[in-house]
Structure 1
Amino acid sequence: MSRAWPLALSLVLAVAAVLWLAPPSQADADGQEAQTLAIIDEILADADLPSAIWGIEVRDARDGRVVLSRNADKNLLPASNLKLFTTAVALDRLGPTFRYTTRLYHFGEVSADGTLRGDLVIRGSGDPTFGSEGHGDPLETWAEALVAAGVRRIDGRIIGDDDAFEDARYGEGWDVTHIATESYAPPAGGLVWGDNLVSIRIEGTSPGQAPRFESDPPGFAAVTGDAVTRSGGGRIDIERTLGTDTFVLRGGVPSNYRGTLRVPVANPTLFAVHAFALRLEEAGIDVSRAVRVDVDDSQQKPSYDGAEPLQAYVSPTLDEIVERINRESDNLYAEQVFRTIGGGDTDTAEDRVQAFVTAAGVDGGDLYLADGSGLSRKDMVTPASLGAVLRAMRAHPASGAFRRSLPEGGGAGSTLRNRLSGVPVRAKTGSLLAVRCLAGYVDGPSGTPYVFVLMANNYTTSGGRIAQAQDDIVRALATGRRVPADEE
């Protein structure tokens, strides 16, 4: 038998259902946000947190409402957070589908016996992916194509043309110890091959004897030193005089050691030319009479008017390149793209970044960009300017490409692989000595999308504690509570 409920009870249940289904009120959201801000205050006031200069900006991504601001208008060192400026402006000016093209030209003739006379020219476009790890080797493909066309000997010059860019291989303010030996600081150039890094393979031998050294590609770098093989542990230190490709190895390695050092080359253009000569030789072409030339050392430069290339390599699209820059924090890729947005000129690239920032609502004239990667200690940006770029890119036609390029919390192969796992965050890290930064997007507990910039400079202890505090702030924005790291 059916039974009617009393009208009063029905109304009570109906009201309860409405209250149950209704979204949180603005008052509830405001209360939640106030609680979050109190938690952030506690994190920054922690007595165990090293003293630092903090620059912070958090905004509601939907309307730009300021949620939290500390020193947001002060210039600070951004480290690799600078890559967010470089990649945003590149996507804006060039578009996600932009591709580089590197071309091979021949100016001369090929005789009946297969001798190629005249100039064989690699014309660079600034492409960072040319011969880069993970992208194959176009020089090998080109050498095989020349063999298939009947070429058996090179009797002329192999020229590397790097004039697509100005000859400014390093950013102003780069640490000399970085550019001498560190794999993350190779020189930029209009012609790049193999990440502008030469590999030095080291193999331990018998205790007391010198290890075996081998450079790859062979013949470009000279490796010397007094390193020895030891029965126990050891370490290798590498020295180099700037402007040379002579590397001196000191220290020692265990007898069972097998390892590889990747070190930057001095002249990227001659490095590419040398690699091409090797690939030609490996393909069976005689290069014994070939002269290897940087176009800057040639009295007569090639004229490409009406010339058709023999071969061409087309890069992946810019959105893929940008993803490598931001996910892996690749400095060479960032420097190449930075110069590209300036038409090969770093000063023009800086002007274009400043113009983008100004259009996003913050005076870009106050910024100083000495490079495109953030390796320079002369770079100066404000949290407000970086926040403006992030907000502008959220509504940009290339927003999808930009957001995908940012590491997700715990993202494999990214700079956040060991941080913020399970947190709904997309963010770029940045670190130098006494600099830790984190900036990006995170979704709050009530669905509020936040744009955040967290910059810490001038601390004297390990950066790990600073990074932990930044992660705690992001977790607080995401959850509205203070979440210990072991609860991620």
Structure 2
Amino acid sequence: MKPYSYLYILCAFFGLSACSTSNRIPSSVGNFFTRDTLFSDHFTGFLLYDPVKGENIYAYHGNHFFTPASNTKILTMYSALEVLPDTLPSVKYMSAGDTLYLRGMGDPTTLNPAFGHQDEVLKFIAGFKQPVVFCKDHFHNNHFGEGWAWDDYPYYYQAEKSDFPVFGNLLHLSYHPSREELILYPGFVNVNYEINDHWQLYRDLQDNNYEFNWPESANAVHINSPLHMTDSIIEKVFNTYLTQDFRISESCPASDHWQTFYSTPLDTALSVMMKESDNFIAEQLILEISGLLSDSLNTEKTIKEIKARYLSEIADQIEWHDGSGLSRYNLFTPEAIVTVLNKIYHRLSIAQIKKIFAAGGQSGTIARWYAADNGLPFVYAKTGSLSNVHCLSGYVFTDSGKILIFSFMHNNFTGPSNTLKINMNKVLQYIKSNF
């Protein structure tokens, strides 16, 4: 007799519903957290949820607070889906007399290499031939977010926020030793570089003078570093594209006749943000949302408004302070993240989810992790990483055809996150095979 037949006889004799397969499986998932030592040396939260039945399958510290890091972008994505149109607003514009007035809407895609250096809004503005006044009276925001690391300002992942971003608000530098060729984008910044025996990057907080060092052994050099977003940069960009007069003003005339120019499809921006974990895009999308919910660009007020309007059911489960997850002030529960993923699941098609989220073993930040044995993705998810923080939340596609929602949150571990990823993969592979 097969071993499981004894269990079947006992269940039939005693009529124990607890012997059913559906009830045995969750306790087996729980073994990874309560019996094994896979996640015992740090703080871990986990939740597995069935969006069809609308119920939790297994929870481990699911209502505890954790630093989410870039899992914050899941909330930013959902907020963008709720508020933004299918194409991103780029500028508001108004003709009054012989002048064209502009207000930047925070569009992150203009001249950004991640979006093919698209310059549609600049061509649109150039077509008016009127003098241009660029208004800044609506930008009520710091360039950096609450709880960001002050000494990360020269690094690519902490670009400044602005009302009219260009180049991804980054300097893009490439050097090819074989040709002794230095390529800068944009080309109007001041760069000093030296080839020696080590890597070094320096830029003062308040200017755009850069100093780079790299070792002679480097085959090719590609460096991105944030620009300090000043009026001077905007002036140089507009003067490059426009033939008409241009000036920046702290105020614009009051009017009900503002119109909007749109640039890039929203799902394209979301795909780049979620797959590559682009902090800059996330922050700018919150500002874009702000421009539609109010008459100003203000991250703090907008997040409060989003929580009240669209996320009231989890308002007491999140401390939310930025769009990207760079802030150490952010605190979410696994339950809160799963709630938002469930909203996304019921809003988008499966094809859209697969387009936007990184695919295990195939794309984005999980291109080298969570692949099935046949090499096909079964996990579509968002990572979140800071020092001593690693999270993974998204969708797992099981062998039986189910789509389940999960959230892993790990805080206060030491060392690299690879061991966590290996152990999370064991759990996800088990879910894939047994549900």
Give the alignment's TM-score, normalised by structure 2. Answer: 0.81
Is the 8 Å Cα contact of residues 321 and 333 (structure 1) preserved in structure 2?
Answer: yes
Instruction: Determine which of 152, 177, 183 is the counterpart of 2:156.
Output: 183
Change (3 A) 1:204 1:407: closer
Change (3 A) 1:161 1:205: farther
Which secondary structure does the structure 1 equivalent of 2:358 belong to? Answer: coil
Residue 435 of structure 1 pairs with residue 389 of structure 2: yes
Instruction: Determine which of 396, 405, 409 is the counterpart of 2:360.
Output: 409
CA–CA distance in structure 2, aligned partners of residues 102 and 386 of structure 1: 32
Is the 8 Å Cα contact of residues 191 and 268 (structure 1) preserved in structure 2?
Answer: no
Which residue of 2 is the match for residue 128 of structure 1?
Answer: 108
> How much has 1:76 moved relative to structure 2?
0.9
Structure 2 letter corresponding to 1:380? L
Residue 350 of structure 1 pairs with residue 312 of structure 2: no
Which residue of 2 is the match for residue 371 of structure 1?
Answer: 322
Find the structure with the greater CA-based Rg: 1
Residue 224 of structure 1 pairs with residue 179 of structure 2: no
Which secondary structure does the structure 2 equivalent of 1:80 belong to? Answer: helix
Is the 8 Å Cα contact of residues 73 and 282 (structure 2) preserved in structure 1?
Answer: yes
> How much has 1:141 moved relative to structure 2?
3.0
Which secondary structure does the structure 2 equivalent of 1:348 belong to? Answer: helix
Q: What percentage of residue pairs aligned between the two structures are identical?
A: 21
> How much has 1:459 moved relative to structure 2?
0.7
Which secondary structure does the structure 2 equivalent of 1:421 belong to? Answer: coil
Residue 27 of structure 1 pairs with residue 20 of structure 2: yes
Structure 1 letter corresponding to 2:20? A
Instruction: Determine which of 8, 14, 37 is the counterpart of 2:30.
Output: 37
Residue 60 of structure 1 pairs with residue 28 of structure 2: no
Which secondary structure does the structure 2 equivalent of 1:184 belong to? Answer: helix
Residue 385 of structure 1 pairs with residue 336 of structure 2: yes
Residue 170 of structure 1 pairs with residue 117 of structure 2: no
Which residue of 2 is the match for residue 477 of structure 1?
Answer: 431
Change (3 A) 1:205 1:176: farther
Structure 2 letter corresponding to 1:94? L
CA–CA distance in structure 2, aligned partners of residues 269 and 72 of structure 1: 46
Residue 335 of structure 1 pairs with residue 283 of structure 2: yes
CA–CA distance in structure 2, aligned partners of residues 384 and 103 of structure 1: 38
CA–CA distance in structure 1, aligned partners of residues 432 and 256 of structure 2: 58
Structure 2 letter corresponding to 1:192? P
- Paired residues for 1:395-474 under 5 Å: 395-396=346-347, 401-402=352-353, 404-412=355-363, 414-422=364-372, 423-474=377-428
Which residue of 1 is the match for residue 65 of structure 2?
Answer: 75
CA–CA distance in structure 1, aligned partners of residues 217 and 402 of structure 2: 58
Is the 8 Å Cα contact of residues 192 and 268 (structure 1) preserved in structure 2?
Answer: no
Which secondary structure does the structure 2 equivalent of 1:82 belong to? Answer: helix
Which secondary structure does the structure 1 equivalent of 2:332 belong to? Answer: coil
CA–CA distance in structure 2, aligned partners of residues 457 and 449 of structure 1: 26
Change (3 A) 1:104 1:89: closer
CA–CA distance in structure 2, aligned partners of residues 58 and 205 of structure 1: 52
Give the alignment's TM-score, normalised by structure 1. Answer: 0.73
Q: How many residues align?
A: 407
Which residue of 2 is the match for residue 276 of structure 1?
Answer: 238
- Paired residues for 1:143-154 under 5 Å: 145=127
Change (3 A) 1:459 1:306: closer
Which secondary structure does the structure 1 equivalent of 2:111 belong to? Answer: coil
* Structure 2: runs of 5+ lacking an equivalent: 1-17
Structure 1 letter corresponding to 2:381? A
After TM superposition, the structure 1 stretch with the greater mean CA deviation from structure 2, 350-359 or 422-431, is: 350-359
Which residue of 1 is the match for residue 119 of structure 2?
Answer: 137
Instruction: Determine which of 195, 199, 207 is the counterpart of 1:244.
Output: 207
> How much has 1:90 moved relative to structure 2?
1.9
Change (3 A) 1:174 1:307: same
Which residue of 2 is the match for residue 88 of structure 1?
Answer: 78
Structure 1 residues 271-324: Cα deviation after superposition (integer angstroms, max 9, x where no partner): 2331221234xxxx5x8xx6753x34xxxx232748788xx8522232222222
> How much has 1:50 moved relative to structure 2?
7.2
Change (3 A) 1:415 1:257: closer
Structure 1 residues 410-453: Cα deviation after superposition (integer angstroms, max 9, x where no partner): 233x2221111234222111111111000111133444432111
Which secondary structure does the structure 2 equivalent of 1:477 belong to? Answer: helix
CA–CA distance in structure 2, aligned partners of residues 33 and 239 of structure 1: 52
> How much has 1:329 moved relative to structure 2?
1.3
Structure 2 letter corresponding to 1:218? G
Which residue of 2 is the match for residue 5 of structure 1?
Answer: none
* Structure 1: runs of 5+ lacking an equivalent: 1-24, 110-118, 482-488
CA–CA distance in structure 1, aligned partners of residues 217 and 27 of structure 2: 61
Which secondary structure does the structure 2 equivalent of 1:100 belong to? Answer: strand
Is the 8 Å Cα contact of residues 126 and 189 (structure 1) preserved in structure 2?
Answer: yes
Structure 1 letter corresponding to 2:318? L
CA–CA distance in structure 1, aligned partners of residues 83 and 122 of structure 2: 33
> How much has 1:84 moved relative to structure 2?
0.5
CA–CA distance in structure 2, aligned partners of residues 406 and 393 of structure 1: 11
CA–CA distance in structure 2, aligned partners of residues 54 and 90 of structure 1: 29
CA–CA distance in structure 1, aligned partners of residues 173 and 40 of structure 2: 39
Is the 8 Å Cα contact of residues 217 and 275 (structure 1) preserved in structure 2?
Answer: no
> How much has 1:256 moved relative to structure 2?
7.4
Change (3 A) 1:186 1:121: farther
Is the 8 Å Cα contact of residues 101 and 313 (structure 1) preserved in structure 2?
Answer: yes
Change (3 A) 1:466 1:137: same
